[in-house]
Amino acid sequence: MSDPLFERDTADAALDLVVRAAGPYLASLPDRLVHDGEQDALIDELDLPLPERGDGTLAGVERLLRVGTRASTHSAGPRFFHFVVGGATPAALAGDWTTSLLDQAAGLWTSSPLAARTETIVLRWLKDLFGLPESFGGVLTPSATFAHVTSLACARTWWAERHGVDVAAQGLAGLPQMPVLSSGLVHVSTRKALQILGCGRDNLRTFSRDDAGRADLDAMEEALAALDGAPAVLVGNVGDVNAGDSDPIADMADLAERHGAWLHIDGAFGLFAALSPRTAHMTRGVERADSVTADGHKWLNVPYESGFAFVRDPSLMPRAFGAWGADYLTDQTGEGLDYNTIGPESSRRSRAFPIWATLYAYGRDGHRAMVERHLDLALHLGGLVEKAPDLELLAPVQLPIVCFRYRPPGVPESELDDLNARLGEALLADGRVYAGTSTYRGMTVFRPALVNWRSTDPDVELLVEVLRELGPTIK
């Protein structure tokens, strides 16, 4: 029998196994395949019937590490450019281990003043980093999707109150549909949040002036005017996932102001543009929004899961999420704040520690340097694409996303989507460098996102080399 009580002295040795695996694993990241499909068979070693008799602490940890360090997708390394996936800075990684070591129940002040106060501290630091007013409320979430849920639940509370309904207590029945307007840059996660909140994923209307999805503000204004003073929600996007494009946030703030609408901003990774004078203009106006969401596990380079929601009127947060009715605690700076009354979770881990660790370790300067290195990397990659006779850059490089496709001379337009889709599959199967395909202006394209702190020039150069090597082999 392996009752954990009898194994209490094994924790040291088990953690030591992790530490001893960590050094060589991290050191191997620059040289190994991003994903080695041949190692996937090792996952069978985890796929056992539920053990009736445990095998003990060390055997379990040893097995998990042996399989994990080989079969994982090595997205912590410098050449995973698929989706928008950050790495973990050394301080953030160690801060995250500290989270597990201390195992704080971070929902209630009483269960951990340390977790609650550290959350307040990092939210203050993040507001400072992004240029948001300190008076905004905030909460850490598992992701930007959950931060949308948090923000849009507050928007929904505000909107229903305008209709005389306490939606937290009474629900949506009897209310009209909540009008939600955005540009074609809107991310699917915003629709997902609306779907979760009962506001309907297809209820979101987009207003675009071109096939890249850029905002048509005149059409948006017309639609708002047609509502005749009924409250509505506008969603502005900083940094879209295809081309790193952004909505004109200050203009949208003007629109929201003129029509009394709620302005929500999705800055999942793009909000970090605020850190560099080269890109800060893209975030101008976010300080006028009613709610703002971003991710920690992307451009901040904190391990999964990490997101944040900020809300202009902090008193809406307990109205949307407090389950206990009357006694709302609206002072978000004072002692005693229970974070599980102002966000969607009840029990939750302390997501503040890795954020605190990385911001303390590298400061505003270090994170700005990382952001600017990624901007330079994207420009470098964009330049390589432009120079290559068989690659075609499809959008100007604005943020650390480069949108392009493979276009060898002589291949007709009608065959390019299929060719790029198959090249995308070949790239992932090759494994040296990862980037995915997407659809941009009706075309199948590559749109690598360069937000890992470890990435440097040779990593993006390899992407171009591998694509141009594999391209001619696609039949």
Ligand X SMILES: *Cc1c(COP(=O)(O)O)cnc(C)c1O
Compare residues 74 and 187 and give the one whose CB is closer to ligand X.
187
Alpha carbon distance 395, 399 (integer Å): 11
Binding mask 55-94 for ligand X (x = CB under 6 A): -----------------------------x----------
Question: Which of residues 239 and 318 has its CB atom nearest to ligand X in the complex?
Answer: 239
CA angle 384, 388, 393 (to 5 degrees): 70
Q: SS3 string of 218-264?
A: HHHHHHHHHCCCCCCEEEEEECCCCCCCECCHHHHHHHHHHHCCEEE
Task: Indicate the residue among 167 and 235 with the shorter CB distance to ligand X.
Answer: 235
CB closer to ligand X out of 185 and 256: 185
How crowded is residue 23: how many other Cβ atoms within 10 Å of its Cβ? 9
Nearer to ligand X, 107 or 142 (CB): 142
Pick the closer one to ligand X by CB: 84 or 91: 84
- Judge if the upstream peptide bond of residue 305 is cis by omega within 30 degrees of 0: yes
**By the rule CB under 6 A, 452 interacts with ligand X:** no
- Rounded to the nearest whole angstrom, what is the least distance from the CB of residue 266 to ligand X in the complex? 5
Beta bridge partners of 391: 406
**Angle formed by the axes of helices 457-470 and 352-387, nearest 10°:** 50
Kindly state the smallest distance separating residue 254's Cβ from ligand X, in Å.
22
Judged by CB under 6 A, which of 247, 266, 287, 338 binds ligand X? 266
Vertex 77, ends 81 and 67: CA angle to 5°? 115
Q: Residue 450 and residue 460: Cα distance in Å, rounded?
A: 9
> Among residue numbers 296 through 355, which ones bind ligand X (CB under 6 A)?
307
Helix (H) or strand (E) holding 178: none
For β-strands 437-440 and 443-446, DSSP reports them as antiparallel
Per-residue CA distances from 425 to 72, 95, 105, 168 (Å): 19, 36, 42, 46
**CA geometry: angle 389, 394, 400, nearest 5 deg:** 105
SS3 content of the chain, % helix, strand, coil (to 5): 50, 10, 40
Site map 211..240 versus ligand X, x via CB under 6 A: ----------------------------x-
User: Taking the complex as a whole, how short is the minimal distance between the CB of residue 306 and ligand X, in angstroms?
Assistant: 8
Question: Is the Cβ of residue 104 or residue 143 nearer to ligand X in the bound state?
Answer: 143
Give the residue carrying structure tokens 């079969």: 71
Q: Does 295 contact ligand X by CB under 6 A?
A: yes
**Binding segment for ligand X among 25-33, 73-81, 121-129, 265-273 (CB under 6 A)?**
265-273
Q: x/- binding map, residues 130-149, to ligand X, per CB under 6 A?
A: -------------xxx----
Minimum distance from residue 45 beta carbon to ligand X (Å): 29
- DSSP letter assigned to residue 391: E
Instruction: Write down the least CB distance from residue 82 to ligand X, Å.
Output: 12
Q: Does 268 bind ligand X (CB under 6 A)?
A: yes
Residue of the chain from 189, 242, 279, 398 that contacts ligand X (CB under 6 A)? 189
Q: Nearest distance from residue 243's CB to ligand X, in Å?
A: 12
Which residue in 80, 158, 269, 321 binds ligand X (CB under 6 A)?
269
Residues that bind ligand X (CB under 6 A): 84, 143-145, 187, 189, 239, 241, 266, 268-269, 295, 307
